[in-house]
Chains A and B, each alone.
Chain A
Amino acid sequence: MSDQDLFAYPRGRLHAADKDLAASLQAMVQKEVMDKRLELKEDYDGLLAPSLARLMAEVGLQKMFWPEKLGGEEHNEPEAAYTVAAALEQIGRADVGLAFLAAHSLALQAAVAAKGSCREELCAAVAPLFCEGNRPLIVSFVLPAMSQDGGAPEWRGKGIQVRAKSGPEGWTLSGKAVRPTCSGADAGLFGVLCAVDGEEPAFILVPGDSHGISREKEFLKTGLAASRNADLDFEGVKVPAANCAWRGEEGFLNLLSWFYLGLAAAGSGALLAVYEIIKEWGDNRVIKGRGQVFKENPLTAALMGEIAKEIAVDRLLAYNLADILSDPQAYGDDGPLAVFTSALMLVHHIYVSAEYTIHRTMELMASAGYAREWQLERYWRDLKTVQCYLGAYELAKHDFARRFYHTKTL
């Protein structure tokens, strides 16, 4: 039994192809990322960009949902949620930043190109970016954010960062000091939630090379080296009318739900790596003189047990989210808001648990946990960064309250 198999997940729900994909990704990221990172550390050009290219373009994660006739793999049924979970878990185990980027791409594909909801004009406009050639496409989102501009139109209290106007020639977008969710410096496609005067918000897809987008210098951040983020300015950026993926909340909630699935799986995968690290430590470190192997000490063994428990539960939760997305009816089919709330609860739960778990692991490893060489600290920084980008847990709790208590004014 492999170490990963110790942590139960509903393997019966995965198709053979999902298992094969997970196995080949596991081998690939081991060789391409994990075996090289001691030497290459977080080198973007030397390690992360080539790995991203392999995953997205060569393995083809960026083609997964698109129709075959547009060059995609048309793996676009709701059950693809399991594929997303299985794939991103393996990538997250190697590098959370890579999984974070892949989660953006897969969420957008799921929201735009899912079976039955794929709008032909839109798919024809954007699928080539994903499916043609061998270059990886980095997808980034511009979501509502706490702002310093008090007058910005809001979504659930947060400022919508970009405004859009529609005209005969399509959409014109503007926004200053816009903070994307990832890769502001590199992204080839932005999914932007835009405020539209007097109307429902629009979710608009904006190719990264559109005229009028300027990118600030990459800023430094805690983790996620694969995402070279930078703030953006949108100055009269024009895109065709077809690039509006949807209006209103439903599509947006659906996108976020799939995005959270990706992040949940990435977190679960990272925690599997944490398990491997602490297991090696626990098998070999000796404390209390020469006598006691770490895992046999009652105090440290209890903590190691708790760490394993957290990881096991988080993995189940991540796959449970896949299950919800693969078959919402089975969960009561209460619509996208219900699915979104579940996704938000599960992903926050996983990230709170992940932070707790890695803190405990680091405490057991003392200086080794803090040293770059042991890799643990990298997961610690990366997962914390994802949690920050996920949004404030305190405010997510209002989303939970909205659903469970029908609050109206939050």
Chain B
Amino acid sequence: MRTIDDITRPLDYLPPAAQILSPIIRNWADNEVIPYRRQFDEDWEDHTLIHPPGKKLLGEYGIQKLLFPVDLGGMGFGESDYAFTSMFILGEEMARADSGLAVGLGVTLWPLMSIALKPHVNRRLLEEFAPLYCNTTEMISGALCMTEPQGGADIENVELLKGSTIQTTAVRDGDEWVINGHKLWPSNTGGMADLLVVVCTTNPGSRDPADVTLIFVPGDLPGVTQSGPYEKAGMACDKNGDVWLENVRVPLWYRAHGPGKDALFFLDIISIASGVTISFTSGMMMNVYERLLEFVNETKLHGRPLKENDAVAGVLADYTATLEVIRIVGYQAARMLDRSDLYGERWSPEMMAKMRSYRYFTMDRCLDVMGKVMNLMEAYGADRDRDIEKHWRDIKMNQLWLGGKQLCQIEAARWFFECETL
């Protein structure tokens, strides 16, 4: 019988750690998540069932240490030539179990990328936060706070708007930043965030990228308030809420880098997230393939297994053709992020355009075939205990965050066609 390991991935550039990483996460998924995930939707507020697998993977297995240098107790992936292909594997295996969980756990690492990845390592901040992430078996939750009530896409649309719409302010007062603002939706908030990276401006309305700041804010500081989580169509494992920052004070050196560089490395983490998001899509689709295989083998049409009907087979083939291509594209995106020597800086408009293109293209294709296989299963397609519908609800979010689909289109067109006013 075929398995998900028959879905192709580019063997010629898998990271050396793949042989170790994949089975660990697969095992975790099979034992700690999949047996419980059908109850996760009702656990969206409390995370009674959702927290234990997160703690196991991030805290006990130590995945939250991944990006920190080895001498600070981490695993040194921030300096690796295979950081993103490794993260792709991680994302895929996690999302096979639950793409909401993959997001929540992955986002713990995400804000750190602004300071932990070569070539822009901020050693002092890594030293500052290494104990939080590395000296514990408890799960740590990190959050990247970009989106604001007036709109998230504009904040990410740095090339056009250059940070001019950011309303959250960072004002220098002696050797501290004083931060004020209101963020919406960051993953791992809703009461969870231990460490926030907040996208601010030092000069509201300014179109000078030097005014864009990325500032690290421990979640327990006075003036940081998180609302309870929002209720959503899916992604119960990712808590999102309001974050209010009222006269929050942090040392000046909690800024990720400095004028100009923060804006660039903000783009870097958006570009990375766009590429790595595809791992959630392909991982989720692999699990749907597993569950679909069972269904089309055991269910009968005209007295024969469903898969033996030529029309049904056409839909099934569309599904796996899409999965094959998405997986290859996703790994290619991750490899491009790893090899900036070949493909250019991750934060360049070119890489941004390409990562955004891959993300929205793969999501469109994924949702198209997901909708079709769900319908193919008739009434059972909507059953929670077939798992397909959960994945269908969860994965839609992959297309909506990070500025949504249209921003992806605009950034792609802007670069490929050299548009000047979009």
Contacts and interface: CB of A to CB of B under 8 A. Distances in A.
Partners in one complex: yes
Interface of A: 41, 145-152, 154, 157-159, 179, 181, 219-224, 285-290, 299-300, 303, 355, 359, 362-364, 366-367, 369-373, 377, 380-381, 384-385, 387-389, 391-395, 397-398
A100 to B, nearest CB: 12
B290 interface: no
B75 interface: no
Interface string B305-316: 010010110110
A388 B165 contact: no
Contact of B400 (A179, A363, A384, A393): A363
B367 interface: yes
B302 A381 contact: no
A222 B382 CA distance: 5
A172 B371 CA distance: 39
Given A219-B384, A219-B385, A222-B393, A157 B302 contact: yes
Interface string B157-173: 10011001100000000
B383 interface: yes
B233 A377 contact: yes
A366 B309 CA distance: 38
Nearest first, the 8 closest Cβ-Cβ pairs linking A and B are A220-B384, A377-B233, A157-B302, A372-B231, A222-B382, A388-B382, A388-B381, A366-B404
Given A287-B151, A384-B374, A393-B375, A377 B232 contact: yes
11 contacts: A145-B378, A145-B379, A146-B301, A219-B383, A221-B384, A287-B153, A288-B160, A363-B400, A371-B232, A372-B232, A385-B382
A253 B311 CA distance: 23
A146 B299 contact: yes
B104 interface: no
B98 interface: no
B410 A299 contact: yes
Given A220-B385, A288-B160, A363-B400, A146 B306 contact: yes
Nearest to A380: B233
Contacts of B108: none
B144 to A, nearest CB: 14
B378 A286 contact: no
Given A146-B306, A220-B384, A392-B378, A355 B231 contact: no
A219 B401 CA distance: 31
Contacts of A152: 300
A367 B185 contact: yes
Interface in B372-394: 372, 374-385, 389, 392-393
Nearest to A292: B154
B120 interface: no
Interface string B213-252: 0000000000000000011111100001000000000000
Contact of B302 (A154, A179, A380, A389): A154
A150 B303 contact: yes
Interface in B23-71: 38, 41
A373 B41 CA distance: 16
A150 B385 contact: no
A85 B150 CA distance: 40
A148 B303 CA distance: 9
Contacts of B379: 145, 179, 181, 388-389
Given A369-B400, A392-B376, A394-B312, A289 B165 contact: yes
Nearest to A147: B300
Nearest to A386: B382
Contacts of A392: 312, 375-378
Contact of A157 (B151, B301, B367, B377): B301
Contacts of A388: 374-375, 377-382
Interface in B127-175: 147, 150-154, 157, 160-161, 164-165
A289 B376 contact: no
B277 to A, nearest CB: 14
A148 B389 contact: no
Contacts of A147: 299-300
B399 interface: yes
Contacts of B302: 154, 157
Contacts of A157: 301-302, 309
Contact of A370 (B397, B406, B410): B397
Contacts of A398: 311
